[in-house]
Amino acid sequence: MSVGILCDWVWKGYCVTNRKRGTKLHEEKSIQGSTALHIANLCRILIFRNVLWISDAEHGISMLDKYQNVGWKKFYLIYGMCDETFSVNCTTEVPEGVDQGWFMFFVTLLNQIYWVGGATAGALLGTMVTRFLPFLIFPEGKEPPEFIQYLGKVLPYAVIGLPVIYCLKDVPESGTYGIPEFLAIAFIVLLHRWKKSILLSIGGGTVFYMLLVQFVFCK
């Protein structure tokens, strides 16, 4: 999260600096779908990746002294060194009589356990519980109400419609008047009626739309 915010700061600072120098930069809303926006997003990705590399290298360099003479634990300490583990192991003064290697080992292990455990619990509670809940409420032999049966028929199509709305939300602000989006939707409908393949429709529609915005409706 902090790295993403940093990347936004870098990009916005670059834009402000160039505007002060008299460079005419369009706002991001005015260049959506254009080559300039794709280049800007690529720069953000490169900055994000480089910041991660620098952060990893900085963590490793800072712990060179502390990870000396810890034996086989050194490999696990390096593998499990996340931001939280680095902060604790780098700044904590280990009390006298406590083995520093084992102290850092258990700090790393604890952080990894709650990280993996929290992700697993979130997946179980957030995904599996919601999937099992209908079967627990309506076990075999118990007829669901007509309204629940109706939802079971219409919800799949409603959920599929949400990404369509998301993809079209920026059309009013685009300079192409929604023409490439309309053509892509028509292409997907025709392709699906022809081949009746969901994978082909998704992939073909994506490629067709990218070709439109990159070569036909580019600014």
Same domain, 123 and 176: no
Same domain, 38 and 70: no
Domain boundary among 94, 121, 142: 142
Same domain, 175 and 118: no
Q: How confident is the model at residue 29 (pLDDT cuts 50, 70, 90)?
A: very low
Q: How confident is the model at residue 150 (pLDDT cuts 50, 70, 90)?
A: very high
Same domain, 163 and 202: yes
Same domain, 58 and 70: no
The count of structural domains within the chain is 3
Domain boundary among 32, 62, 92: 62
In the predicted structure, residue 4 carries a pLDDT above the cut 60? no
Looking at per-residue pLDDT, the higher value among 10 and 215 belongs to 215
Helix axes 83-91, 100-123, angle to 10 degrees: 160
- For the entire predicted model, the pTM comes to 0.44
The three-class DSSP label of residue 202 is helix
Domain that residue 57 falls in: 1-62
187-212 per-position pLDDT tens digit: 999 999 999 888 898 899 999 999 99
Same domain, 58 and 73: no
Report long-range pairs for 81-86 (Cβ below 8 Å, ≥24 apart): 81/108, 82/111, 82/112, 82/115, 83/55, 83/59, 84/111, 85/111, 85/112, 86/59, 86/62
Q: How confident is the model at residue 42 (pLDDT cuts 50, 70, 90)?
A: low
Looking at per-residue pLDDT, the higher value among 8 and 219 belongs to 219
Domain boundary among 112, 142, 172: 142
Same domain, 78 and 112: yes
Range scoring the smallest mean pLDDT among 19-23, 107-111, 154-158:
19-23
| Segments of 80-203 assigned E as strands | none
pLDDT at 184: 92
Residue 175, CB-side half-sphere exposure with 13 Å CA sphere = 13
Looking at per-residue pLDDT, the higher value among 18 and 42 belongs to 42
What mean pLDDT is reported for the chain?
77
Looking at per-residue pLDDT, the higher value among 198 and 10 belongs to 198
Helix axes 179-195, 146-168, angle to 10 degrees: 130
56-98 per-position pLDDT tens digit: 666 677 777 778 888 898 888 888 888 788 888 888 888 888 8
Same domain, 157 and 108: no
